[in-house]
Chain A
Amino acid sequence: LAKTTQPISMDSYEGQEVNITCSHNNIATNDYITWYQQFPSQGPRFIIQGYKTKVTNEVASLFIPADRKSSTLSLPRVSLSDTAVYYCLVEAAGNKLTFGGGTRVLVKP
Chain B
Amino acid sequence: DAGVIQSPRHEVTEMGQEVTLRCKPISGHNSLFWYRQTMMRGLELLIYFNNNVPIDDSGMPEDRFSAKMPNASFSTLKIQPSEPRDSAVYFCASSLMGRGGNEQFFGPGTRLTVL
B42–A102 CB distance below 8 A: yes
State A3–B100 Cα separation when bound (angstroms).
15
Tell yes or no: B49 within 8 A of A by CB: no
State A101–B40 Cα separation when bound (angstroms).
9
Listed stretches A11-19, A27-35, A66-74, A76-84; interface member:
A27-35
B42–A101 CB distance below 8 A: yes
B6: nearest residue on chain A (CB-CB)?
A43
Interface membership of chain B positions 78-115, coded 1 if the CB is closer than 8 angstroms to chain A and 0 otherwise: 00000000000001010000011101111111000000
Pick from A41, A46, A97, A100: contact of B99, CB under 8 Å? A97
Tell yes or no: A63 within 8 A of B by CB: no
Within 8 A of B (CB), among A61-109: 87, 90-91, 95-102
Q: How many residue pairs, one in A and one in B, have C-beta atoms under 8 Å apart?
A: 55
> Which bracket fits the contact residues of B?
20 to 34
B103: nearest residue on chain A (CB-CB)?
A46
A32–B107 CB distance below 8 A: no
B48–A43 CB distance below 8 A: no
B108–A42 CB distance below 8 A: yes
> Which residues from chain B contact A36 at a C-beta distance below 8 Å?
104, 106
B100–A32 CB distance below 8 A: yes
Q: List 9 A-B contacts (CB under 8 A).
A: A32-B101, A34-B104, A43-B93, A43-B108, A95-B56, A96-B58, A97-B56, A99-B45, A102-B42
Taking A46-B105, A91-B99 as known contacts, 15 extra A-B pairs with beta carbons closer than 8 A to each other, sorted by chain A number, are: A32-B100, A32-B101, A43-B4, A43-B91, A43-B106, A46-B103, A51-B101, A96-B58, A97-B33, A97-B45, A97-B99, A98-B45, A99-B42, A99-B44, A100-B42
